Chain A
Amino acid sequence: SQQGEEDPQALSIQEGENATMNCSYKTSINNLQWYRQNSGRGLVHLILIRSNEREKHSGRLRVTLDTSKKSSSLLITASRAADTASYFCAALSFQGAQKLVFGQGTRLTINP
């Protein structure tokens, strides 16, 4: 089963608005990471939050982690048309093999 599950599956907002995407996971984790994928391209790492952190910022990105609820959120503030992409979370589990398991992603569309 997928370790990371994003919600919503698709999100469409106006330029300048904030976009929030959520991710849930199932087992204890070492860290959780967010990636971005432009159409037809590979994934690019955005931000990593460790299991002992609760919030992390990078530019217009803010990530939160709630290990009690096994969930994370990615907030993109002041969205731009160039933010249009798919966003994936991936959790690195303590259990079993040390592999990153990705969710299905959130397809974000920023309308100009």
Chain B
Amino acid sequence: GAGVSQSPSNKVTEKGKDVELRCDPISGHTALYWYRQSLGQGLEFLIYFQGNSAPDKSGLPSDRFSAERTGGSVSTLTIQRTQQEDSAVYLCASISGVAANTGELFFGEGSRLTVL
């Protein structure tokens, strides 16, 4: 696609349910990031995938959070047993392999998660 695509754009779920958020990066981009943004706040780094290297999971807030990237393209962020404090916008961004360590990130529009 022309840009980074995220789905769903909005998700309302009940506390305790599992949710999956999907990110389709720009074709050919080898690096992919997930960030979380609470209302009116900055971006909190969650996880970083770079090519075939082991992902940097240092930002995942708890073991209820996991992410995978299949075939080096689409990524899924899974939150198990959701809590109200998980409510936020989850942003995905990708970057081309050539510029992975120097260049700009291209962001999706985010998935807004509301946990009731």
Interface of A toward B, CB cutoff 8 Å? 2, 30-31, 33, 35, 41-45, 48, 50, 88, 90, 92, 97-105
Contact = CB atoms under 8 A, between A and B. Distances in A.
B21 interface: no
Contacts of A43: 43, 91, 93, 105, 107
A31 B102 contact: yes
A101 B91 contact: no
A26 B87 CA distance: 29
Q: Interface extent on B, as a size class?
A: 20 to 34
18 contacts: A2-B42, A33-B104, A33-B105, A35-B107, A42-B4, A42-B91, A42-B93, A42-B109, A44-B107, A50-B102, A88-B43, A92-B101, A98-B50, A98-B100, A98-B101, A102-B42, A102-B43, A105-B42
B52 interface: no
Contacts, number: 58
Interface of B: 4, 33, 35, 41-43, 45, 48, 50, 56, 58, 91, 93, 100-110
